[in-house]
Structure 1
């Protein structure tokens, strides 16, 4: 039987859900990481350079492996948000700091989160993360247009 996430407080916004997710990753708390996920067969997670993980059991195993050394030194550098009805998409620039013999090194990750509003509050449906270079800190986009 697949592992079920523990019951958690109602997360009333996608931002609250995302904050819980990152706090759990920083603490290395697998149960709290899993608690933000929707209880849905179609949830998906892709770690940088990893396979697509589908369903609670596969996602839990992926995070268990990721967190085997403890919490992650991870911070959100930028977030772009889009909320439409009962769904939300966040584009996140993450900075992952890793201790090496040469000192602290930073790795940049671009992540996309898809959230849905459920009777239990906002839950994560998709986490898709890709490695990014230093240039990821700079955003490239169209200039805002102005109506006259």
Structure 2
């Protein structure tokens, strides 16, 4: 694992979140693996079933982007591990989003623990898997339990 590879994976990961925040589907498409890896692409959005295949995954992002007036991510606890031509980046997504009633009113969107897997391709590192799992806050735990 070289520092150059770690930096490259972190750069692609940052581009993934920048594409989502700017609702730029073309930009999002550049992040995800293509070609011979396209059918192996996997995505699990929080609360969604597993999605497989590049086309299916990108359609899901188009739907999410079309229905998200504003979103911003503050990533914490980021760690990268690389083994050969595969990399795993784990992080916590701390989400700021617009409330539905008003695009001008921002609110905390909660926290998601995320695993992003990348594969080294001829074009560089590309996302191969995104899996987000919501984290319940203590107030939710108290209400549910």
Q: TM-score if structure 2 supplies the norm length?
A: 0.78
1:32 corresponds in structure 2 to: 27
Which residue of 14, 24, 28 corresponds with 2:9? 14
Unaligned segments of structure 1, at least 5 residues: 1-11, 136-148
1:43 corresponds in structure 2 to: 41
After TM superposition, the runs of 4+ consecutive aligned structure 1 residues lying more than 6 A away are none
Q: Compute the RMSD of aligned alpha carbons.
A: 1.9
Structure 1 SS opposite 2:14: helix
Distance 1:27 1:103, change over 3 A: closer
**C-alpha distance in 1, partners of 2:119/2:61?**
21
**C-alpha distance in 2, partners of 1:81/1:130?**
18
**C-alpha distance in 2, partners of 1:114/1:103?**
30
Unaligned segments of structure 2, at least 5 residues: 1-6, 139-145
Distance 1:130 1:36, change over 3 A: same
Higher share in helix: 2
Map Cα deviations across residues 67-94 of structure 1 (whole Å, 9 max, x no partner): 0134522221221111112111011100
Map Cα deviations across residues 1-59 of structure 1 (whole Å, 9 max, x no partner): xxxxxxxxxxx711111011111111111111121111121110010010111111110
**C-alpha distance in 2, partners of 1:89/1:19?**
14
**C-alpha distance in 1, partners of 2:59/2:70?**
16
1:63 corresponds in structure 2 to: 61
Q: TM-score if structure 1 supplies the norm length?
A: 0.76
Aligned length: 124
